[in-house]
Amino acid sequence: MSPDSIVTEAGQAVAGTSSFDDNELIRTAAKLTRDLNAVNPVIYWADFLASILVGYGSMVAAIMLETPGFAVLAGIVSVLALYRAGSFIHELTHIRRGSLPGFRFVWNALLGVPLLLPSFMYEGIHNLHHARTRYGTAEDPEYLPLALMKPYTVPLFVLVSVLAPIGLLIRYAILSPLSLVIPPLRKVVVERYSGLIINPEFRRRPPEGAFKKQWYAQEIAASIWAIALLTAAATGFLPLRAFLIILAIVSGAVVLNQIRTLVAHLWENDGEVMSVTEQYLDSVNVPPPALLPALWAPVGLRYHALHHLLPGVPYHALGEAHRRIAKALPTGTTYYRANHTSLWALVANLVRGSAGHTAATAAAARPAGTAS
């Protein structure tokens, strides 16, 4: 069977969410992108190191510049660059072991440990989000049905991330050392405070095997760094102004990521197991011609729905993968239904959906004949 016939068949079939639809959608996407799975080390290293250089250079400029306007501008550039560099943590969970020698170590040394976001907090977590029977359920650490919750949950979801740098300092400078001598605390730290999760009901399991060694090495390094940073600020070795600017920049990067997370999915699942097609449609692509997603959804994150369909395709190939699939499939088929236009439109839809669900729930709870 030719690729064209497969595409035509898939375009007619994926209107539903049966296992047949799942197979056709996956098979079509895989057929068209079979040659895009190889990682390009040059792109990874150049992109990451350039982002690090710009991010830390702009942070130093924000600290050194005395003119408020220029300092703020440098701070914004630092937020965007470090956010982009930090987004490579997502790639670390998907690239095949051995395809990028040394990248994990360098990422942690230059960004993961300094920003107190070592990769163990995402590795072993994100793969659960991609598990076929876990996505959108209570066992998914990265899913919260925001569209089915109270409207105030949406702004609260973003605002709580502002305090992330302080929480990370407490986690690594205080809780990590104490948990070494207080076993019950260690259990809590591992289960509740060792993962980049949004599902408050999720509990992480203790690490095992080779990953356990990576976890401990990264956690010890992050704890030493957190203690050193607080000591430097307390003794005046690191000026208070510089310390606060660093916290503000890290907070800005985390908030930006939280906003991006807010629109990565539609968050409409109520906990039931979803088909692959349903998972794809609950996820979000924001493809060109929109330009701003390159800033708020970098390193391939603008193709989040496509990534859920093809998690093995590296970030630098997702744009080409999208172009091929969009060109092959007829307009109006299921593939296009995951494409959206902008951040603000997605946020507005989420808020409206949450408000509508709350109103519908309240109406259903009223006794028959009661006026609204």
pLDDT tens figures, 200-256: 999 999 999 999 999 999 999 999 999 999 999 999 999 999 999 999 999 999 999
Q: pLDDT over 70 for what percent of the chain?
A: 90
The CA distance from 138 to 167, in Å, is 24
Q: pLDDT for 305-349, tens place per residue? A: 999 999 999 999 999 999 999 998 888 888 999 999 989 889 988
User: Six-digit token pair at 102?
Assistant: 């040394």
Measure Cα distances from 112 to 120, 206, 233, 333 in Å: 9, 20, 20, 40
Q: Report whether pLDDT(155) > 80.
A: yes
Strand-pairing partners, residue 83, are: none
Nearest to 140 by CA among 92, 185, 195: 195
Count the neighbouring beta carbons within 10 Å of the beta carbon of residue 131. 11
* Spatial CB neighbours of 121, under 8 Å, sequence gap ≥ 6: 194, 195, 196
Q: Report whether pLDDT(116) > 90.
A: yes
Note if the bond before 298 is cis, omega within 30 degrees: no
> Looking up tokens 């702009």, which residue turns up?
58
- What are the boundaries of each domain within the chain? 3-32+268-355, 41-262
State CA 146 to chain mean position distance: 16
What pTM does this model have?
A: 0.90
Tell me the one-letter amino acid at 221.
A
Q: Report whether pLDDT(5) > 80.
A: no
Q: Report whether pLDDT(368) > 60.
A: no
| Ordered DSSP codes for 202-269 | --PPPP-HHHHHHHHHHHHHHHHHHHHHHHHHHHTSS-HHHHHHHHHHHHHHHHHHHHHHHTTB----
